[in-house]
Amino acid sequence: MEKRLRWGILATGWIAELFVTDLLASGLDVVAVGSRSVEKAKAFAERFKIPNAHGSYEELVTDPDVDIIYVATPHPQHVDAALLALNSGKHVLVEKPFTLNANEARKIVDRAREKKLVVLEAMWTRFLPHMTRIHDIIEAGTLGDLRSVSAEHRQFLPTDPNHRLNALELGGGALLDLGIYPISFAFDILGTPVTVSATARFKETGVDAEIATLMRHEGGAISTTVSALDCAGPNVACIYGSKARIEIASTWYVPTSFEVLDYENNVLEKFEKPVHSRGMQFQALEMERLVRTGAESELMRPDETVAIMETLDTVRQQIGLVYPGENASTSA
């Protein structure tokens, strides 16, 4: 019988709640939670019936009953939390955006390889059933040669200037919280871009309210993305090929449906496969597979995670977005 892997949850915020809900519903083992507040750790553990609650991240990562750490802190704290877990011999699933910048991402990936441990970016969209089917369709040649990708991620989020999303010192803004989705999607479908052009609109707090990118990929294909945190949208995406296109329904980055259409608008395929959860368990199942096999994920390779952060660094350089405390050597 295959050994059951045991999860430890580092931080107790909203995203951790969603993740644990999907893990438990899928029958995976969550055995510990850690917070900088023992009261918060105990409340979280009681809510989800988790056996062990730790009042520090250090206690959590040294818990001998834990195999995998899920890092769910705000992203400025990802690098320290991930390195803490790796140095304690734990495999790590790091919530997206992976880090603040590419230099931090390299540190995590390099340390994981040194320790022969698995590290994976929790870009949960990549592991959803409709994304798996989209790749099958592309690889079968149904779309022909890929021409372009367009995707948006628009939400109307809290306007309080003290909220994390509006705080420059906490890495707030549209790019890292929202833009990471369509930019990662463009990487997933078309590969690493060879040129990047970006423009942005800013809020009074200094964070980017809206960010648009135009990227050219190897072979000449083009991607366009728009993300905003102060105006909601339909959040659709489309992949265009020389023979057909894929239109992904709203909201494209969560479990959803899509249609494949030729250029006479004939429906070649309609994909509908309901997922009775948010769908965060699929990344956890991939993480467990990687731990058991010792492989690096082909769906979200660590080197690609670093390349995405390099592109986000380029975008920030173009729009003049620098986070407090960051210096040239950190973001280069």
- % of the chain at pLDDT higher than 70: 98
Q: Is residue 322 part of a domain?
A: no
What is the pLDDT confidence band of residue 327, given thresholds at 50, 70 and 90?
low
Q: Which domain covers residue 244, as residue numbers? A: 129-271
> Is it the case that residue 330 has pLDDT exceeding 50?
no
> Tens digit of pLDDT for each residue in 214-230?
999 999 999 999 999 99
**CATH (domain of 48):** 3.40.50.720
Give the pLDDT confidence score for residue 1 in this predicted structure: 61
Q: What tens digit of pLDDT does each residue of 180-238 get?
A: 999 999 999 999 999 999 999 999 999 999 999 999 999 999 999 999 999 999 999 99
Q: What is the CATH number of the domain that holds 213?
A: 3.30.360.10
Tell whether 208 and 227 lie within a shared domain.
Answer: yes
pLDDT tens, position by position, 51-78: 999 999 999 999 999 999 999 999 999 9
* Number of domains, the chain: 2
Q: Are residues 133 and 260 in the same domain?
A: yes
Enter the pTM of the model: 0.96
Check whether 332 has a pLDDT greater than 80.
Answer: no
Half-sphere exposure of 263 (CA within 13 A, CB side): 9
Residue 248 predicted with pLDDT over 80: yes
Mean predicted lDDT score pLDDT of the chain: 96
Antiparallel, parallel or unpaired: β 237-241 and 146-154: antiparallel
Q: Write down the pLDDT at residue 308.
A: 98
Which sign does the torsion angle of CA 77, 78, 79, 80 carry? positive
Q: DSSP code of 67?
A: S
| CA dihedral of 43, 46, 52, 53, whole degrees rounded to 10 | 0
Residues 185 and 62 in one domain: no
Q: Look-up: residue for tokens 């809020």?
A: 203
Average pLDDT rounded to a whole number, residues 113-130: 98
Buried b (16+ CB within 10 A) or exposed e, 18-34: bbbbbbbeeebbbbbbb
317, part of any domain: no
CB 7 within 8 A of CB 72: no
Residue 116 and residue 172 in one domain: no
- Please indicate, yes or no, whether residues 258 and 190 belong to a single structural domain of this protein: yes
**Would residue 330 count as lying in a domain?**
no
Task: Choose one of 226, 253, 271: the last residue of a domain.
Answer: 271
Question: Is residue 105 domain-resident?
Answer: yes
Do 11 and 137 lie in one domain? The reply is: no
Q: Percentage of residues in the chain with pLDDT exceeding 90?
A: 95
| Confidence at residue 156, expressed as pLDDT on a 0 to 100 scale | 98
User: CA–CA separation, 113 vs 163, rounded Å?
Assistant: 36
Both 177 and 44 in a single domain?
A: no
How many other CB atoms are found less than 10 A from the CB of residue 6? 18
